[in-house]
């Protein structure tokens, strides 16, 4: 690797808000180095101090202890080489798109004669050609965010800091804008030397960044780092991409991926006796959405109330959420995981894919799927599975099998054919290892 100049060095930085008894440690012992050419993704649940770290690096707020160096010099005050793009970029509503970008160029001291052609060029770059004289209110959220990007580019920051820049956008605009940013960056159409992007979306980080730094809460800190070695353009469905998502996921949850011994169960051998909770996945989706709406954490009894569930009926749904790694319980609260958040925000199709990937880690579902895959017609009688499951689950075997089928149907892994009494796979694909 060639020696690349170091831009940012964060050394043992902590950030404390308030004082006793309200003292709150937002960041503790954070170390991070960003070099020229880096595209760093900063990933972590809400409250893990991502925005705070970004603000410290941009010099908008000082650390409580530790230091930040920029190109070797201690950072004092606002970092003139860094620009932050926030989730929703504030534009001047009384200025046109062109004027909004020109303002940033003027602030940089660019002579008037050069401003207009440069602003037009930037507007073109982010794909807003034709909207130069529109006002912000006439634009969609995605287009406004593009103006925000154009304005950030106008500053020509050496370090571009992005704080969840796509999360307020609809799915299509977000994807289009990700593509445009990547093109600007990879094609070296902007003088920016490094990008630091905060996100809570694992796939987004793997799609864009080359290094992913993972943070966690309590106190906010860095818990690990992964290098993304995938070439651009990256494909979300590629096995290598999903494997990378899984590794980051494991880092976040502290869950080591299940050992091959559990996953690669020999055909005909069900995995260990892990019963599936009797829960409908649509209820799991509803609960996950509700927790997200309440800020990612909510008391169980309040959730039961909000969803008009008896607490006893809610618990299997909570178990299912935990089993799929969408949430975890903590002292009577249900806390959403990054995967749960991704699921809650995902389209129906993406939800099926997420559930499919998780469900294949559950021994019973995996076992059924592998048996069906191994069969020539990908069809086997219900009773055959029932008999084998009875050995593990006794009188609850049919309940287990029905739950497995309903989850698998949601994920489009396999289904039950009423007419023949068989389980079948419609489109067998190879199981990711
Ligand atoms: P993230 O961006 O990862 O969601 P933040 O950096 O916004 O996390 O916040 C980390 C923690 O610090 C949160 O618990 C938040 O409530 C707290 N926090 C952030 N800014 C302030 C502030 N100005 N005063 C008090 N607490 C704050
Ligand atoms: Mg934040």
| pLDDT tens-digit readout, 137-177 | 999 888 888 898 888 888 889 999 999 888 777 777 788 78
pLDDT confidence of 113, banded at 50, 70, 90? Answer: very high
Is residue 74, in this structure, part of any structural domain at all? Answer: yes
- Cα 420 to averaged position of ligand 2 atoms, centre (Å): 53
User: Are 300 and 323 within one domain?
Assistant: yes
User: Are 306 and 382 within one domain?
Assistant: no
Greatest Cα pair distance, the chain, in angstroms, is 82
What pLDDT is recorded for position 171?
73
Is residue 128, in this structure, part of any structural domain at all? Answer: yes
User: Residue 15 is encoded by which pair of tokens?
Assistant: 């950030």
User: Are 66 and 138 within one domain?
Assistant: yes
User: Are 82 and 107 within one domain?
Assistant: yes
Cis, bond preceding 88 (omega within 30 deg of 0): no
Element (H, E) at 150: helix 141-154
Report how far residue 430's alpha carbon sits from residue 360's, in angstroms, rounded to the nearest whole number.
Answer: 12
Q: Are strands 194-199 and 159-163 parallel, antiparallel or unpaired?
A: parallel
User: Are 328 and 192 within one domain?
Assistant: no
For residue 198, which atom of ligand 1 is closest to its CA? 2
Taking only the tens place, the pLDDT of each residue in 219-257 is 999 999 999 999 999 988 788 898 888 888 878 776 544
Average of pLDDT values for 199-227? 92
User: Residue 425 is encoded by which pair of tokens?
Assistant: 């796979």
| Domain tally, the chain | 3
Nearest CA to ligand 1 atom 27: 17
Are 196 and 159 a contacting pair, CB within 8 Å? yes
Is residue 155, in this structure, part of any structural domain at all? Answer: yes
User: Are 44 and 129 within one domain?
Assistant: yes
- Cα 47 to averaged position of ligand 1 atoms, centre (Å): 6
What pLDDT is recorded for position 429?
57
Q: Are strands 422-424 and 415-417 parallel, antiparallel or unpaired?
A: antiparallel
What pLDDT is recorded for position 3?
64
What letter does residue 185 receive in the DSSP assignment? H
User: Are 13 and 127 within one domain?
Assistant: yes
What pLDDT is recorded for position 226?
92
Mean pLDDT of the chain: 87
For residue 55, which atom of ligand 1 is closest to its CA? 6
What are 84's strand-pairing partners?
161
User: Residue 3: which residues within 8 A CB-CB, separation 6 or more?
Assistant: none
User: Are 217 and 296 within one domain?
Assistant: no
> What does the chain come to in residues?
433
Of the listed ligands, the closest to the CA of 55 is: 1
Are 372 and 380 a contacting pair, CB within 8 Å? yes
All residues with CB under 5 Å from ion ligand 2:
51
User: Are 84 and 171 within one domain?
Assistant: yes
For residue 24, which atom of ligand 1 is closest to its CA? 26
- Any residues with Cβ below 6 Å from ligand 1, and which? 17-18, 24, 26, 44, 46-52, 220
CA-wise closest residue to 138 among 181, 185, 97, 84 = 97
pLDDT above 70 covers what percent of the chain? 93
User: Are 333 and 382 within one domain?
Assistant: no
User: Residue 324: which residues within 8 A CB-CB, separation 6 or more?
Assistant: 284, 339, 343, 355, 358, 359
Helix intervals (H) in 324-429: 338-345, 348-359, 363-374, 382-393, 397-410
Where do we find the tokens 């490094």? 194
User: Residue 299: which residues within 8 A CB-CB, separation 6 or more?
Assistant: 332, 333, 334
CA-wise closest residue to 388 among 370, 368, 403 = 368
Checking if the pLDDT of 403 tops 70, the result is yes
- Cα 7 to averaged position of ligand 1 atoms, centre (Å): 25
Is residue 355, in this structure, part of any structural domain at all? Answer: no
User: Residue 387: which residues within 8 A CB-CB, separation 6 or more?
Assistant: none
Where do the DSSP E strands lie in 219-356?
A: 221-227, 297-299, 327-330, 333-336
- Cα 262 to averaged position of ligand 2 atoms, centre (Å): 37
Q: Which of 229, 264, 292 is the last residue of a domain?
A: 229
Checking if the pLDDT of 74 tops 90, the result is yes
pLDDT confidence of 1, banded at 50, 70, 90? Answer: very low
pLDDT confidence of 404, banded at 50, 70, 90? Answer: very high
Nearest CA to ligand 1 atom 13: 47
User: Are 11 and 124 within one domain?
Assistant: yes
Report how far residue 71's alpha carbon sits from residue 32's, in angstroms, rounded to the nearest whole number.
Answer: 14
Of the listed ligands, the closest to the CA of 167 is: 2
Where do the DSSP E strands lie in 131-220?
A: 159-163, 194-199, 211-216
For residue 49, which atom of ligand 1 is closest to its CA? 6
Q: Which of 229, 259, 289 is the last residue of a domain?
A: 229
Write out the residue range of the structural domain in which residue 381 sits: 363-424
Q: Is 12 helix (H, G, I), strand (E, B) or coil?
A: strand
What pLDDT is recorded for position 305?
85
Report how far residue 323's alpha carbon sits from residue 329's, in angstroms, rounded to the nearest whole number.
Answer: 11
Of the listed ligands, the closest to the CA of 49 is: 1
Of the listed ligands, the closest to the CA of 25 is: 1
pTM of the model: 0.63
For residue 17, which atom of ligand 1 is closest to its CA? 25
User: Are 71 and 200 within one domain?
Assistant: yes
What pLDDT is recorded for position 259?
36
Nearest CA to ligand 1 atom 14: 47
For residue 45, which atom of ligand 1 is closest to its CA? 3
What pLDDT is recorded for position 272?
45
Q: Is 35 helix (H, G, I), strand (E, B) or coil?
A: strand
Most confidently predicted of 19-23, 68-72, 163-167, 345-349: 68-72
What pLDDT is recorded for position 127?
83
Report how far residue 240's alpha carbon sits from residue 75's, in angstroms, rounded to the nearest whole number.
Answer: 39
Taking only the tens place, the pLDDT of each residue in 256-300 is 444 333 333 344 444 546 789 999 999 999 999 999 999 999 998
Pocket test for ligand 1, best of 10, 21, 24, 223 (most atoms within 8 A of CB): 24
């Amino acid at each position: 690797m060639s020696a690349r100049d170091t831009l940012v060095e964060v050394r043992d930085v902590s950030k404390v808000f308030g004082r006793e008894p309200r003292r709150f440690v937002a960041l503790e012992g954070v170390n991070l180095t960003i070099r020229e050419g880096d595209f760093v993704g900063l990933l972590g649940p809400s409250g893990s101090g991502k925005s705070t770290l970004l603000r410290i690096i941009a010099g908008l707020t000082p650390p409580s202890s530790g230091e930040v160096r920029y190109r070797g010099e201690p950072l004092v005050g606002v970092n003139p080489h860094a620009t932050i793009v926030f989730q929703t970029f504030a534009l001047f509503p009384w200025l046109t798109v062109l004027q909004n970008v020109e303002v940033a160029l003027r602030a940089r001291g660019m002579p008037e004669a050069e401003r207009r052609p440069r602003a037009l060029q930037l507007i073109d770059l982010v794909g807003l050609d034709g909207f130069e004289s529109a006002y912000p209110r006439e634009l969609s959220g995605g287009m406004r965010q593009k103006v925000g990007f154009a304005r950030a580019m106008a500053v020509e920051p050496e370090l571009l800091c992005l704080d969840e820049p796509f999360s307020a956008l609809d799915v299509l605009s977000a994807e289009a804008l990700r593509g445009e940013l990547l093109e600007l960056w990879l094609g070296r159409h902007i003088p920016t030397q490094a990008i630091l992007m905060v996100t809570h979306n694992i796939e987004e980080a793997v799609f864009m960044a080359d290094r992913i730094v993972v943070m966690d809460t309590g106190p906010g800190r860095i818990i690990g780092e992964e290098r993304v070695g995938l070439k651009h353009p990256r494909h979300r469905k590629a096995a290598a991409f999903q494997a990378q998502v899984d590794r980051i996921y494991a880092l976040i949850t502290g869950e080591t991926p299940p050992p091959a011994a559990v996953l690669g169960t020999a055909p005909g051998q069900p995995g260990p006796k892990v019963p599936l909770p009797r829960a409908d996945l649509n209820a799991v989706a509803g609960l996950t959405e509700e927790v997200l709406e309440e800020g990612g954490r909510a008391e169980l009894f309040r959730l039961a109330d909000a969803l008009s569930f008896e607490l006893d009926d809610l618990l299997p749904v909570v178990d299912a959420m935990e089993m799929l790694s969408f949430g975890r319980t903590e002292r009577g609260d249900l806390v959403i995981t990054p995967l749960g958040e991704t699921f809650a925000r995902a389209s129906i199709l993406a939800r099926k894919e997420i559930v499919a990937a998780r469900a294949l880690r559950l021994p019973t579902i995996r076992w059924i799927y592998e048996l069906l895959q191994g069969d020539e017609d990908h069809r086997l009688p219900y009773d055959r599975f029932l008999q084998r499951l009875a050995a593990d689950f006794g009188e609850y075997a049919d309940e287990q099998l029905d739950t497995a089928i309903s989850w698998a149907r949601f994920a489009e892994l396999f289904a039950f054919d009423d007419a023949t009494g068989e389980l079948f796979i419609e489109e067998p694909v190879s199981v990711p290892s």
